[in-house]
Each structure stands twice: as structure tokens, then as C-alpha cells.
Chain A
Amino acid sequence: MRGFLRWRTAELPVMHVSTPAVIPVNQLLKSPMGCGAMMKSVMEVLLLLMLFFTAHAKEKSYSPPEKPTQTRCRSPEKETFTCWWEPGSDGGLPTTYALYYRKENSETVYECPDYHTAGENSCFFNKNDTSIWVNYNISVVATNALGRAFSDPVDIDVVYIVEPNPPEKLTVAVMEDKGWPFLLVSWEPPHKADTRSGWITLIYELRVRLEEEEDDWEMHHAGQQKMFNIFSLRSGGEYLVEVRCKPDHGFWSEWSSTSYVKVPDYFHREKSMWILVAVFSALIFLILTWLLHMNSHSLKHCILPPVPGPKIKGFDNKLLKNGNSDEIFSALVVPNFPPASASKYEEMLVEYLEVYVPEEPELMLEESKDLLDGCLKSENSRSDSDSGRGSCDSHTLLMDKCGETKEEERQTNRESSLMETQGWKEEAINHDTSGKVKTWPSVYSPLPQYGSNPLDKQSSLETAKQHSLSTSSFLTQPGTKDALGPSYTDFCLSNKENHLHPQTLAHRALQTQSDVNISNIGCKRSPATEYVEVQRVNKEDMVLLQPVVSRCGHIEGCPNLPKGEDYSKVKGVDCDNRLLLQREGTGEDVCPCVDQETNGEGGNCYTSSTVSTTQKPTACMYTAMPLQEETALALNGYVDTATMGNLPSC
């Protein structure tokens, strides 16, 4: 093939396609006969047709070859070099390739001396043809029957295309250094590279990995040395080692063949390490324990937060422990109460008429105001859900809102409220189930309604006032009669008024009194709590009362006992709508508590304003009254509505 195309640059031999086909036909058809000549032409035509037919059938089109590309040139030892090229499309025809080169500063074109040594599509330059530090201009030509193609020229200098062979004779040995193993790796340069004479200088690089960890190589640069130590080995590990080299200005070689090595186990070393680890962890554990101990308290708080106990807002437990009740209750006092603008309550407040002597209207107002304040105070205090208060429920009597009271609260305050009571109106009695007397100050609404609600309001108002005057307060339950116990005093004015609320009677009575009062100018004005005296009963079954000259102060034991003999207590109402009154002893003499068993029940002597009338005769003096007298005594001198039942049935 080599000698097939030898041309000078100027010559371009052209070949016909049909020429190869024609020749064998000519050789075949060597017939001396004349019809053989005709046969020959026929065969030629047939062959041509076949050729074109096959060409069309296969859809092939012949063309000159495509331009080949020069891939690379390499020198393994800087003494010889090889160039490779990549052929392009051959155009469907057999194509030949040739390599031509020119040396620097010379016009002579040489052809490649060796196409075979280095394989296909290559050109090998031996030592004689290789010059270092000389520029080579190389081109490759592809030729086929239809034409030829030149590759792009390439300029190379052999000194810069050196790519050595991989290092050889790689050995790896396990050595020991003071009990610790290491790998001693050694190798030799590729045998072709002449490093001994200094013609070529190689630098080396090696890589190590464990057998189980693929692609996790550890690189080591070894410089010009031909041995290397690798430390930090894993006990019992299997290692793979490879090495490669490069001239100081050139390309890296391929990695050498792998060398395997197994590192023996060195347990004793590892054991000591584990001992060290154990000691350290124990130390750390001790430190942590000590830290925990130091901060146990705060940690406890963090992990197990203390459960909040019940606590009254604004209430100091320590005050309770001290036992000073004044301080306790003062702590419960809400500042800024009542609110400045009490207009809301004032609107709701039922208008009331003061029955006292109008000489001191300011005091009346004050009282009413106090009542109002008391109600408001309790009203507002009630809104504090967290408070332990409940004692002030008098505001409930003031209005509907205020009207809601709690039985429990009343009962809790019963004991304390029984202690201090002030002058009460004898008629105005309302008992609760616990036997407390609910009294109203002599302030009533002039509304002539007998419904329970307004009266409730009245009672609330009065009781609220009472509360303001005394530290104790009462809760009234202006509810149904069922709520009221046997101590309920019922004024039985008439048959049809059997179930009249005592407040009603009182209301009427007092209303009368108010009329009386108004007409009674000049009457002496009594202090806050005032009493009325029954003057007479008029025809219309109205009890006319008159204010009493106050003589009663705070009398312990009998706080409500009026002094003097003018007082009369309402004992009850008989069937004829007569008010039964009784007279009691004077103040200082404590009327012995009489057992209130008029109702058939054993009542106790209440120190509060509870009243239960008894029908037992007492040692108290009686005033001669036109009415029936009975020795119903109670400390406070109020009629026990509950005892009404004992009276002659109506």
C-alpha cells in the first residue's frame, strides 16, 4: 500500500471507478472468437449496469475522503515519538493515509518512516529521526480513488510531548516503627526513561486506598525519590498502592499496576487506646455528675417545674399565719373602688325616700350614698373572680344584678356577721335559712308595689347600707319562700295576705311612717339607726309608727335593744290582722335569751340579728300595750317571722 501512491506534491493521479472492474472482465473474457468480442461488450455493459445498480440499491455515493484529524503525538523517553491520527470518512472507497513532516527551518518534506510499529493510524519516529528542541510540522493526508484530503498541520517540539511509561517494580512492605506499622513503598522508573544520565528527570506520585473503599484514594507526592513511607494504617486492613511519574515539563504517566498488601492486626495497641478512651469518658462522666449535683436545684426547676398552688390574687398567706384579721381584710380591699362615676348604679338605683327627720338631709344622703357605695363596692368586688371575698353580698339587694347572692357566702359570713349588728328596724325582718335576720334600715322605696322584686331591691339597698355601716354584712335571698326557713317571720295581716312578704308589711308600715314622719315636723332626729315606735293602729289596719328618740347605742349583747320602755316589738300578726306587739326590757339588762321554741323548734340564742320569737315568758318587763303582749325576747328584739306559725291561725 505504501508504494501505491507515491507522488510529488505536484502530481495528482486520478483513478477511474470503472477501471478495477474492467480489468478482471478483460482478463476473464479473453476469447479469440469474434462473437466473443460482442459478448465482451455485452458483459461490460452488464457489469456496468450491475455496478450502478448495486450502487443505487445500496444507496451509496462515492466521494473523496474526509479530512483526517491528528489526535496526538507522544514521546515516552524524549528520544522517540509517535503521532496518531483519526481518519475521517473514507467516502466509501479504500483510502490510504500518509504522514508528512517538515523540520524547522528546512523545506524538505519527509514522510513518516514507520507506520506499523505503533499500530494503526500512527507514525513512529525512531531515534534517528527524532530531534529534540526542533519544531516538527506534521500533516496527514488521506487519499482514495476520488481525491484526497489534508489534515490540519501540527507543530510539535518533542521536549514538550513527553509522557513516560508508568513506574515499574512497585513493591510494598509492612514495616514496624516502635510498634506502629507503616508501609514502605518502593519502585523504579520506567526502563526506557534514562534518568541515570540526567537526560530526563521524573517526579513521582503514589496513591493508596483500602480495598473496601473504592474511589477513596489517598494521594502522596514523592518528588524525585523512588521510595515512600505511608503511616496511619488501619489494623488488619488491606491496602492497594499505585504509582505514576511525570517529567518536570510533560504529561503524567498511567498508573502503575496495583500492589496489594495486608496490614497485620495490632490489637495491643488498640487495646491501650480503648483504655485511654474509657478513662477519658469516665472523667467526663464524673465532671458531668459533679456539675449536675451543683446545679441540681435549678435543673429540678427546669425539668419538673413546681406545680402552682392555689393562690388568691393579692392575698398574702403570711398574713393569715400572723392571725391579724384586720390586715387580711385590708389586703383584700381593692383600691380605687368604688369607681368614681357611679352614675350607672345611680340610674339603676331605685329611688328611695328617706323617712327620717328632714332636718339632716345631708346625713340621709350620706347614708344613701353609703349604701350605694357599699353596694357598688361589693358589686365590684364580686367581679374579681380570684378573690376569696364573698362576704359582701349586700349589693345584691340593691338591684337585679346585685340581687344575686350566694347561700354559701352567707353562711360563711354568718358567724362573723352575727357579732355586729346595729339598730334594725323591728319590722324589717327577713330571715334566711340560716336564721340570720336581714334587716333593712329605715329607708324604703315609696313604690307601692308588692312584688318581690322591688322589695328585694329595697332590702338589698338597706342591707347594703347596713353593710356599709358595719363590718358585717348579710346576704339576703329575696327568693322564694322556700329559701326561707322556719325562722321566717311572716306578717299575716289578712287571709289573703297570708303569704305576704314581711317586707311588704314593713314597707307599708314604714310607708305609713314616712307619711307620719313628714307630717311630724320637729321630731327629733335620730342617728343612723333609728327606731320607730308604734303609735297606734288605725282603722285601715295600718300601723302607725313614730320615730323613737334614740337612746340605743351599741349595746353588746343586745345591740338592737332600744332603751327605754317605749319600744315595742312586733310579736306577730294575728288572724284579725292585728299587730301583736310586745314590750321588752331596757338595754343594759341583757334579756336572757329565750329559747325560741314557739315554732316547735329549738332555736339557739343567736348573737346575730337573727330573731326568733318565743312565747315563753321572760323576766323582762312589759309595757302595757293595748296589744297582746308576749314575752318573746330576742337579743335584738326583732320579731321572728318564723314564729308566726305559732300564733293563732289566721
Chain B
Amino acid sequence: MEKVLFAVLTLVYLELSMRVVSAPICSYGQAGCHVPSLADLFERVIQQSSRMHSVSSDLHSDFEQYFFPRKNLIGKRKCHTYDILTPEDKENAQRLGREQLTEVIVRLLQAWGEPLSELYQSMSQDQNQDFNLYSSNKALEISDILHELKDGVTIITEKMKLLGVLSNTVGYNSPESLVPSSAFYTQGDLDSMDHHDLLYCFRRDSNKAKNYLRILKCTTLPEPDC
């Protein structure tokens, strides 16, 4: 008993003495905060977008393998973000400029917040399918990352505006206008086909976001090695 007490005391002492002192990160530079640089922010955001795309890609491929073993079964579908005009090649993207590019990114991310949570809810409710049983956690992860990404992009834009890199013309549109077809999915429960379409569309859109973010970073922070 005494030995246990001694061990506990030792551990507590060690933890207290060897605590790593780190300052909280904040974006406004308040006292005591460690303000991350723009490069750090971009790095973090790009990592998150990459992770998001990776998980969604895995989920999509799992879905296709489980439900549609035969390949290349892509029906006629229309993603609900189709009316968000996005540059479809490099020249167009570079021609767009930082502000518009940022706006596109934000719009894309915001458009997916609700559908993803709906997808997760639908998958977790529909426990009949084994696929939902094993993969609903991925949908949840995607949803969480998306949420963080949205916040991150917001912070970056603020930072860029602060630095004068970004003009103040970039504004935050209301969620309703940004998500034109949020009513798309409110017509009852989602079935497997809807799941598949959602996953397919999101995979693409996350790729777009990731790519746009990279372009934004490389144009904002010119480095020989971008």
C-alpha cells in the first residue's frame, strides 16, 4: 500500500515538473497566445483537406465494392453543388484570383456541412446493411473534419485580410444562398442510391477544395518549392 502511494506521488511530481509549457494558439494575437503564421495555417488546412479527401475516397470505394461489384456503374447523377461554378482546369483556376478562389472554397465547404450530417444519420440509422454498420464512423469523421476545415479556412481568410493579401471583398454569404439545394435531400429518408451519389459527389468536391487550397497557398506564399 505504501509502495503504491509512493509510486503515485512520484508520478504526480514527475508530471508536474516535466510539464511542457505551451501557449494556446489564437488567431487574434492576444496576450499569452502563440500566433501561428500563415504558412502554418495553410499547412494545417491543407493537411486537413487531404485527410478529408482520403477518407471520403476510401468510403466511396468501399461502397462501390460492397454494393456494385461490377465496375463503372455510374448512372446519371447530379450533385447538388453543380451550380457552384468552379474552375475546371489550371488556367481557369489561376485566372480566378485569390479572392474568388477563396470564395469558391468556402462555398464548397459550406455546401456540404448539412448533407454530410444527414448522410451520417442515415447510415447510422439504417443498420440493416452491414456496410452502414462498419462505415458510418467514417462518415462521422468526414463530417467532423469538414467542420474543422470550415473554421480553418475562415481563420485563414481573416489572416489574409489582416495581412493585406486578401481584399475585403470576400464576404460571407448566408448559408441559404450558398446551399442552393439543401432542399434536395429533405424529401424523406436517403436510400443506398442516395448514399452512393452523395459519396461520389463529396469525393469530387473535397478534391476540388484541396486543390484550390493548394493553389491558394502557392499563389499567396510564393516559394520555389511549393
Q: Which residues of A contact B (CB under 8 A)?
A: 78-79, 105, 127, 130-135, 153-155, 157, 159, 194-199, 201, 226, 248-249
Contacts and interface: CB of A to CB of B under 8 A. Distances in A.
B196 interface: no
Given A127-B89, A132-B89, A249 B207 contact: yes
Contacts of A155: 72, 74
9 contacts: A79-B90, A133-B88, A157-B204, A159-B207, A197-B90, A197-B94, A198-B214, A198-B226, A249-B57
The majority secondary structure among interface residues of chain A is loop
B82 interface: yes
Contacts of B57: 249
Interface of B: 50, 53-54, 57, 72, 74, 76, 78, 82, 86, 88-91, 93-94, 204, 207-208, 211, 214-219, 224-226
B82 A105 contact: yes
A595 to B, nearest CB: 103
Given A132-B88, A198-B217, 11 more contacts: A78-B90, A79-B90, A131-B89, A132-B89, A133-B207, A155-B72, A196-B218, A197-B226, A198-B215, A198-B219, A199-B90
A474 to B, nearest CB: 86
Nearest to B78: A105
A198 B211 CA distance: 7
A197 B215 contact: yes
B88 A197 contact: no
Contacts of A157: 204
A134 B226 contact: no
B160 to A, nearest CB: 16
Contacts of A133: 86, 88, 204, 207-208
Nearest to A78: B90
A199 B219 contact: no
A216 B26 CA distance: 51
A570 B226 CA distance: 142
Nearest to A155: B74
B29 to A, nearest CB: 27
A132 B207 CA distance: 11
A205 B226 CA distance: 18
The majority secondary structure among interface residues of chain B is helix
A83 to B, nearest CB: 14
A201 B212 CA distance: 12
A111 to B, nearest CB: 21
Contacts of A78: 90
Contact of B225 (A105, A154, A197, A226): A226
Nearest to B214: A198
B115 to A, nearest CB: 18
Nearest to B205: A133
A393 B93 CA distance: 126
Contacts of B72: 153-155
A465 B124 CA distance: 111
Contacts of B219: 197-198
B102 to A, nearest CB: 14
Given A133-B208, A154-B72, A249-B53, A196 B78 contact: no
Most buried by A among B82, B216, B218: B218
Contacts of B74: 135, 155
Contact of B211 (A127, A154, A196, A199): A199
Contacts of B93: 199
A250 to B, nearest CB: 11
Contacts of B216: 198
Contacts of A132: 88-89
Contacts of B78: 105
A196 B224 CA distance: 7
Contacts of B207: 133, 159, 249
A511 to B, nearest CB: 103
A132 B29 CA distance: 40
A135 B54 CA distance: 20
Contacts of B88: 131-134
B204 A196 contact: no
Contacts of B90: 78-79, 194, 197, 199
Nearest to B222: A196
Given A155-B72, A197-B226, A130 B214 contact: no
A199 B215 contact: yes
Nearest to A157: B204
Contacts of B214: 198-199, 201
A226 B90 CA distance: 23
A276 B210 CA distance: 55
Most buried by A among B50, B74, B76, B224: B74
A195 B223 CA distance: 11
Nearest to A128: B89
A201 to B, nearest CB: 6
B101 to A, nearest CB: 11
The 8 closest A-B pairs by CB, nearest first: A198-B218, A198-B214, A131-B88, A199-B90, A155-B74, A198-B215, A132-B88, A198-B226
B197 to A, nearest CB: 13
A9 to B, nearest CB: 19
B118 to A, nearest CB: 23
B180 to A, nearest CB: 16
Nearest to A197: B218
A130 B215 CA distance: 19
B103 to A, nearest CB: 17
Most buried by B among A131, A133, A194, A198: A198
A196 B218 CA distance: 7
A157 B205 CA distance: 13
A615 B53 CA distance: 140
A159 B204 CA distance: 9
Most buried by A among B50, B54, B57, B214: B214
A134 B78 CA distance: 12
Contacts of A135: 74
A199 B90 CA distance: 7
B89 A79 contact: yes
A249 to B, nearest CB: 7
A157 B203 CA distance: 12
A195 B89 contact: no
A79 B226 CA distance: 18
A159 B225 CA distance: 22
